[in-house]
Chain A
Amino acid sequence: MIEGQGTTGLVLKEPTIFERSSAGRQGYALPALDVPEKQPVRFVRHKAAELPEVSELEVVRHFTRLSNWNYSVDLGMFPLGSCTMKYNPRINEEIAALPGLSVIHPDLPAEHCQGALEIIYCLEKLLCGISGMDECTAQPSAGAQGELTGLMIVRAFHESLGSSRKIVLVPDTAHGTNPASSVLAGYQAITLKSSSSGILNLEDVRGVCDKFGRDIAAMMITNPNTLGLFESNIIEISQALHNVGAQLYMDGANLNAIMGYAKPSDMGVDVMQFNLHKTFSTPHGGGGPGAGPVAVRSHLAPYLPNPRIRLVEGKYVTENLKSSIGKVRGYYGNFGVLVRALAYILQQGADGLKQVSKAAVLNANYLRHRLSSHFAVPYRSPHFHECVLTDAIQIKENGVKTLAIAKALIDQGFHPPTIYFPLVVGGAMLIEPTETESLQELDKLIDAFITIAEAIRTKKDNFEHAPRKTIVGKVDEVRAARQPILSLDDRAQ
C-alpha cells in the first residue's frame, strides 16, 4: 500500500443514536407541573414518539464522534469540480453571529430593521455591479431555486407579451438542475450537443433557433461551462436567441472564474442566478443553507419576487410589484447566508474579487498542466476555474477506472474530485481547486494523483479495495442502490 498524507489515529466506533438508547433515560429534568394540565385534544399524541432515550453527554459524544469521521474544507482540500468548495473566512461567521443580525425576527416592521434591509439591499446592488445586470432579488435560497425563479420570470415576461412558448434549450454539459428547473417551470428541455472542442457550436444554436423559432422561451447556459471552458460564441448565441424573442439565462454556478474580467450583461444575458454558497464563500456541503439570488435586465424586473426592498428618501421600505411572480420563499431568503456573502464581498473589494478569479483560474490551469503528463486530458484549450481529466490511460495500463482512482485519493488524504460528470466525458474527473489553496497544497494533491498513477502504471496496485484507511472502508454502492436499507427496521430484517 502506498503512503500519502492520510494516516490512522484512534477513531472511535459509534452506533446509531437509537442503539445508544436506554429505556427511561432522560437528558433533561422539568419541574413538576404546578398549573392545571390543559392541552387541546387534537395536539395529543396517541402513540409515543420513538425517540432515543439518552443523556445530554451521550448526545454530545455521539455527534462529536460522528464529526470525527467527517472530512471538510477545514480539514483538507476539497477539489470537488463544479462545487467551488473554497475556504469560508471566519470573519463571515463573526459578523453573521452578531446578536443584532442572528436573533432578529423576520416579522419586524421595516422601520425597526433598517440595518437588515440595508444589508440585503446592498448585497443586491453589489451583485448587480459584479454581473452588470439591472436588478436583483436575494430571496431564492439555493442555486436551483434561483434557476426556477429565473425561468418563472421568463415565463411571466413571455406571457405578458401574449406569447406562449414551450421550449428551453440546455447544452449537454449543463448541470442536471437546468433541465429539471425547465420542466418544473412548465417547459420542455431540449438538449443541445456541444462540439468536440467542448463548447457550443454557433451554427448548431442558429439551426435550433431556425427550427423551433418562437417556441423557444429561453436557453440556459453556464459560462464558463462545466468543463471549465468559456463559451466563446456567447454574444452571437445571445443574438440568435434574441432574434426569435427568446431569453438567455445564465447559470452563475461558475462565476468564480470571471469576476472583474467579464460581465454577463456584456454577453447578452437577460437573467442569471448567483450561488452565494459557491462564489461568495458561504458554507455548503451539508446540503445548505445556500442562497441563489437572481439578477435580471430591466425588461424582466417587473416580474421579480415580492417583496422588493427600495431606498426611498433615506429609508429602506418594502414594496410589492403588481406583475411579480409572487414569493418564492418565506420572508427575505436565507438572511444569515446573505450577511456572510456581503461580508465576503466587502472584505475583498472589487480588486480582491478580480484577484479571486485570477487565482482560481491559475490554480486550475496549474493542476491541469502538471497532471496532463499522467492522465488523459480530453480538452486542450485553456481552462478557467476547473479542469477535466479521464481514466483513459489507467484503463489501458491496468484496467483501473475513475471510481477506483477517486477512492484511492481518499487514502491519500484528499476529498475526491467530482467523478463521471460532465456526462459528455467518459470517466470524467472534474477538479476545481479554487483560489484558496496554496501552491504547496496544490503540489500535495498533484503528488497524490501522480503516486496513484505510478502505482497503476507499474501494476503495484489497482486500488480495487480502496479506501482502506477510512473508518468505513469500500462500500458496496451497487447493492446500496439496488437494495437500500433505509431504517433500523430494514436492517433488522
Chain B
Amino acid sequence: MNIPKGLHYTKEHEWVSVDDNIATVGISDFAQQSLGDVTYIQLPKEGEQVRKDDPFGIVESVKAVSDLYSPVTGRVVEINLPLLQAPELLNSDPYNDGWMIKVEVKDESDLEDLMSSENYQEYIEEKS
C-alpha cells in the first residue's frame, strides 16, 4: 500500500497536498484498490466553489458509485482534464497522473483535522 509522506489524508480516503495556497486533491492508493477498476469520474468545473466535507464529484467503478469529499473549502482553479478521458489513471497512478482538482484554499486551518501518512496508515489498518 503506497501512502506517500508529506500528504494530508481524510477519513474518506482523499489526499491533499498544499503548495502556497493551492491545494491539489486526489484519492489514495487504498481508495483506488478498494474501488477496483474505475470507469467514470465526474469533477466540478473550473471556478466552482467546493466546501470542506461536502461532495465535489463522483467516482464510478465496476463495483459502485462513490462520492468524493473535499478536504478543503475554496474555488476550483484547475481540474485534471486528461483524467476525465482516461479514468484508469486513477488506478495506475493515484498520486501523480490521477490528481483530480486544484483548489485555491481560503483558510489553511482546513488541514488541521486531516491525517498524516502515519496516522492514515494506522487508520486503514484499524478498518481492515
Contacts and interface: CB of A to CB of B under 8 A. Distances in A.
Given A481-B40, A482-B39, A420 B63 contact: yes
A421 interface: yes
Contacts of B64: 420-421, 423
Interface in B46-81: 60, 62-66
B34 A478 contact: no
B44 to A, nearest CB: 17
A477 B34 contact: no
B34 A481 contact: no
Interface string A363-403: 00000000000000000000000000000000000000001
5 contacts: A403-B36, A426-B128, A478-B37, A481-B60, A482-B87
B34 A426 contact: yes
Classify the interface of chain B: helix, strand, loop or mixed.
Answer: loop
Contacts of B29: none
A481 B62 contact: yes
A477 B128 CA distance: 26
B88 interface: yes
Contacts of A421: 64
Interface string A155-170: 0000000000000000
Interface in B77-97: 87-88
The 5 closest A-B pairs by CB, nearest first: A481-B39, A420-B63, A478-B37, A477-B62, A482-B39
Nearest to B91: A478
Contacts of A478: 37, 39, 62
Contacts of B63: 403, 419-420
B70 to A, nearest CB: 15
A421 B36 CA distance: 14
Interface string B1-38: 00000000000000000000000000000000010110
Interface string A65-95: 0000000000000000000000000000000
Q: Which of A403, A419, A420, A478 has the most chain B CB atoms closer than 10 A to its own CB?
A: A478
Range class of the A interface residue count: 10 to 19
Q: Which of B34, B37, B88 has the most chain A CB atoms closer than 10 A to its own CB?
A: B37
Interface string A19-60: 000000000000000000000000000000000000000000
Interface in A219-262: none
Interface of A: 176, 403, 419-421, 423, 426, 477-478, 481-482
A478 B92 CA distance: 14
A478 to B, nearest CB: 4
Contacts of A481: 37, 39-40, 60, 62
A118 B22 CA distance: 67
Contact of A423 (B62, B66, B88, B128): B66
A423 B59 CA distance: 14
B67 to A, nearest CB: 8
A478 B63 CA distance: 10
Given A419-B63, A481-B37, 14 more contacts: A176-B65, A403-B36, A403-B63, A420-B63, A423-B64, A426-B128, A477-B37, A477-B62, A478-B39, A478-B62, A481-B39, A481-B60, A481-B62, A482-B39
Nearest to A482: B39
Q: Which of A403, A423, A482 has the most chain B CB atoms closer than 10 A to its own CB?
A: A482
Contacts of B128: 426
A154 to B, nearest CB: 23
A409 B37 CA distance: 22
Contacts of B34: 426
A385 to B, nearest CB: 23
B88 A482 contact: yes
Contacts of A423: 64, 66
A334 to B, nearest CB: 28
A422 B39 CA distance: 20
A166 to B, nearest CB: 14
Contacts of B65: 176
Contacts of B60: 481
Contacts of B88: 482
A421 B88 CA distance: 22
Nearest to A481: B39
A420 B37 CA distance: 13
A433 B82 CA distance: 45
A482 B88 CA distance: 9
A421 B61 CA distance: 13
A437 B32 CA distance: 38
A176 B65 CA distance: 9
